[in-house]
Amino acid sequence: MEFSARQLADFLHGEVDGDPSVKVSDFSKIEEGRPGTISFLSNPRYEPYIYETQSSVVLVNRDFEPSKPVSATLVRVENAYESLAKLMTLVSGERAKPEGISQLASLHATAVTGSGCYIDSFASVAAGAVIGNNVQIHSRVSIGENVVIGNNTILYPGVVIYRDCRIGNNCVIHANAVIGADGFGFAHAEDGSYSKIPQLGNVVLEDDVEIGACTTIDRATMGSTYIRRGVKLDNLIQIAHNVEVGEDTVMAAQVGIAGSTKIGKRTMFGGQSGANGHIHIADGSILAARAVAMSAIDEPGKMWSGFPAVPLLSFQRSFIANKNLPELQKTVTQLKKQLEALEKRLSEEKK
């Protein structure tokens, strides 16, 4: 990869502020910038680095106004972070994609594979599975009976997809994720024991979904667990049986969603947040880190925090009040002593 600042600006529909002929051949973080690399600035907290970075080119938002001289050439774009993603996607696409089916892979005679597929050593594809075109199946992936996988999907090492699940086009599933394990369904008997409830449904991942490493998505008891188009899940997430995650939702690491909860479109879940079972989360809701929705969220587009989750403003007020509790306790203790002294004096005067 080697691009001039002018070529970058043309590709990103941006404007060059500086030397348009300067060339870059790699990426670097702005605080670790090196000559010949491109960095980006989108978070204002990193602005001090732009005045000292050695990067040759820096992507910035179009409205960025430096407070000091900048030695790097700036490429001004509408959204620096989004533009960086476009560039990295372009570079990633230039890498050679693996193809071919290893002799050490195990494919059932009834499995169907499309053109341009890559299936690595020790991968296993069971009976009735249908694999689309240009799918990458890396080492030790296990694909169960009657699984359907769409075009251009990538399954990284150790992924397990249980029987009957459906994976869409252009999905990415990272190492050791498990799609379609049994939901946590047990009937509690009078003697205190538990009887397993068979999990007869499946999991459906729609197009353009990305699943992080070691994330688990349970199959439905009946019907399907749905991960809708464009959802992005981080590592170490648990999605329970019969959950529906709406389009373009994002979840950070260690989120947990209990069974049969319906999550709206374009929601955001911070790290270690979650939702109780059998509730609805409205479109555009944002749950801050460690927030847990214990009951339905019906009003769209609001931010929630705390356990149980409450609207952000209410949480902030409670947090401030909580910080003031030690002083408030001292004040109450002082008032109590003053009141006791006053009562004692009035009692003595009556005598």
Lowest mean pLDDT among 42-46, 106-110, 208-212, 337-341: 337-341
Q: What percent of the chain has pLDDT over 70?
A: 100
Residue 340: per-residue pLDDT: 86
Please, which pLDDT band fits residue 45 given cuts at 50, 70 and 90? very high
Active site residue 241: yes
- Predicted pLDDT of residue 351: 67
pLDDT at 215: 98
311-320, pLDDT tens digit by residue? 877 777 777 7
pLDDT at 28: 97
115-139 mean pLDDT = 97
2 vs 111, which has greater pLDDT?
111
SS3 letters across the chain: CCEEHHHHHHHHCCEEECCCCCEECEECCHHHCCCCEEEEECCHHHHHHHCCCCCCEEEEECCCCCCCCCCCEEEEECCHHHHHHHHHHHHHHCCCCCCEECCCCEECCCCEECCCCEECCCCEECCCCEECCCCEECCCCEECCCCEECCCCEECCCCEECCCCEECCCCEECCCCEEEECCCCEEECCCCCEEECCCCCEEEECCCCEECCCCEEECCCCCEEEECCCCEECCCCEECCCCEECCCCEECCCCEECCCCEECCCCEECCCCEECCCCEECCCCEECCCCEECCCECCCCCEEECCCCEEHHHHHHHHHHHHCHHHHHHHHHHHHHHHHHHHHHHHHHHC
Task: For residue range 187-221, list pLDDT tens digits in order.
Answer: 999 999 999 999 999 999 999 999 999 999 999 99
Q: Write down the pTM of the prediction.
A: 0.85
Which comes out higher in pLDDT, residue 314 or 133?
Answer: 133
User: Residue 349 — very low, low, confident or very high, per pLDDT cuts 50/70/90?
Assistant: confident
For the segment 86-115, the average pLDDT, to the nearest whole number, is: 91
Out of 126-130, 224-228, 329-333, least confident range: 329-333
Q: Mean of the per-residue pLDDT values for the chain? A: 95
Question: Given 108, 188, 241, 278, which residue is catalytic?
Answer: 241
User: Where is average pLDDT lowest: 43-47, 80-84, 262-266, 333-337?
Assistant: 333-337
Q: Is the pLDDT of residue 96 over 80?
A: no
Q: What is the pLDDT of residue 314?
A: 79
